[in-house]
Structure 1
Amino acid sequence: QEEQEDQDQEEQQACLRRSCLRQVPDRILKNSSLTYVCLEGNHIPSVPSSVFACWPKLQWLDLRNNHITMLPAEIGSHRCLEMLLLEGNPIPGLPP
C-alpha cells in the first residue's frame, strides 16, 4: 500500500526545476492528475492557456525565475489553484 501511495504522489507532482526548459513539456501537460508543478529557474517565456484545462486539480504552481511576460486570463478562473509563485519574472501585471 505504501508503494501505491508513493506512486500516486509521484503522479501528482512534477518538479522540473532548473532544467533549461523553454516551454512547458507536453509530457507533463498530459498528466491531468497533477496537483504540484515546479518549473522554477527555466527559460519559459509564456504559459499556454491550455495549462489550466490540462491540470484541473492543480493547487501549487511555481514559475519563479523564468522569462514570463504575461499569464493567460484562464488563471483567474482556476478552481483549485491555491499558490502561484511568480517572483523573478518580467510580468507587468496580472490578468483581470
Structure 2
Amino acid sequence: MLKIVAIVWQSYYNMLLKASKDIKDFSVKVYSVRALENERQKLEDALKELDDADIVFFYRSNESVWEEIERKVKEGGIKGKIVCLGHDPSYWTLSNWSRTLGSL
C-alpha cells in the first residue's frame, strides 16, 4: 500500500485530514506543524513515519521544528519522493521529486 506523510500548517492540516479519511487505496498520515512544535512525542512519531513513506508532502514555514525535519532530509533519512512547497521558494529545494520523476 502506498504511504503518504504530510507535514503542513494547521490551516492545511484540517483540510488534508478530512480529505484523507475518504481515501481507501493508500495510507495518508497528516501532521500539523503546530502540534509538532508543542508535543515532542508527536514530532518523534512524525520523523519515524517519514522513514518508510513513499511520498512526503511538506508545506514548509518558518517554525523552529523545521530545522529538525530538514536535518533528517539532508542526512538522507527519507527514501520516498519529497514534494516541498512554501511561501518562500527557497524552501522548495527540499523537494527531490523533480530529480526522480521518471521512477514514480
> TM-score normalised by the shorter chain: which range applies?
0.3 to 0.5
TM-score normalised by length of structure 2: 0.37
Bigger share in strand: 2
